Amino acid sequence: MASVTVRGLALCTTSLLNFAFVFISGADLIRFVSFRAIYHNITGETTLCRDSIPWSVALRDSSVLRALAVDLGLLALFIVQHSLLAWLPVKQALQSVLGPLNRTAYCFTTALALQILMRYWQPVTNAPCLWSVRQAPWSVWFPLLCFSLHFLCWAIICSILMIFDYPELLGIKQVYYDCLRLGDPLSHKSPHAQRLLSHLRHPVCLELGVVLWLLPALSLDRLLLAGALSAYLALAHSLDKQDLAYLCVQLNSKMQLFAQPHGGSADATPNEDTDDHKKK
């Protein structure tokens, strides 16, 4: 009994420490992707890029090529980590070794890869921007507009992650269910929900696309970051019409639930996942 309790405490402690690290990494990612790039324009920073340098000269500059090579390697590190650990044979091997900490390890290594990317990212300052809003009054208003839209997109992303079972996404629920001997949390969801989550873990492609591309100035290294991550988001998911139909049914169910008077009614349309959980 004591060994079971110690094991449970160790699993919970590990999961909570991982949650803290992922939370810090998420805050750093918001600063890195959104606010740092917009801040350059609001403050009138001039070292973001140099429009006076021709592209023919910039693309032959060794410092520019070296910075792009480093950034490309950092992006490759993140993409390989994110894809390799999600590959079914690797997932099964890690599951046999780590047990309920498998999802925790995946989130930890993802956050670690992001921290390495942000820490060693090399800005390209000896090349012109692809676009730059510098004409008054848009040089002031457009960065503020970008800031507002970025803030809105990050708020939507956080809301979607909460709706899509944030504790399960980070591996906290796996540890909790293991301590209570309830099995895998995904097994309590409906087959349609399991199928959807196997095709796309975090459906925030549109919002991430906005924060990656909507900027007052687009430098060469930012083009590499936005292009690589946008391509990865587009190629990584495998949603189909069946997933879309399931999402539409769930959306209609939620809209009917919100449209009902306070307290609901006896003939309310049940949520498929909740009903399936109750049956289990």
d(CA 246, CA 198): 14
Q: How many angstroms separate the Cα of 205 from the Cα of each of 153, 210, 230, 232, 251?
A: 11, 9, 8, 10, 18
- Residue 8's pLDDT is 77
Task: Give the distance, in angstroms, between the CA of residue 135 and the centroid of all CA atoms in the same chain.
Answer: 33
Question: What 8-state DSSP symbol labels residue 127?
Answer: S
- Residue 119's pLDDT is 95
- Residue 262's pLDDT is 57
**Residue 90, C-beta contacts closer than 8 angstroms, at least 6 positions apart:** 84
- Residue 201's pLDDT is 62
Query: What's the one-letter identity of residue 210?
Result: V
DSSP letters spanning 178-199? HHTT---GGGGS-HHHHHHHHH
Q: Are 55 and 127 in contact (CB under 8 A)?
A: yes
- Residue 234's pLDDT is 82
- Residue 66's pLDDT is 95
Burial (Cβ within 10 Å: 0-12, 13-18, ≥19) of residue 89: exposed
Condensed to tens digits (0 to 9), the pLDDT of residues 131-188 reads 888 777 777 788 889 999 999 999 988 887 777 777 888 888 888 888 888 888 877 8
Beta strands in the chain (DSSP E): 131-132, 217-218
Low-confidence ranges of the chain (pLDDT < 70): 1-4, 40-47, 199-203, 238, 254, 258, 261-280
- Residue 3's pLDDT is 57
* β-strand partners of 132: 217
Coil, helix or strand at residue 167 = helix
- Residue 272's pLDDT is 47
Tokens of 109: 């290594």
Burial (Cβ within 10 Å: 0-12, 13-18, ≥19) of residue 127: buried
d(CA 98, CA 205): 30
d(CA 98, CA 14): 12
Structural element, H or E, at residue 67: helix 62-84
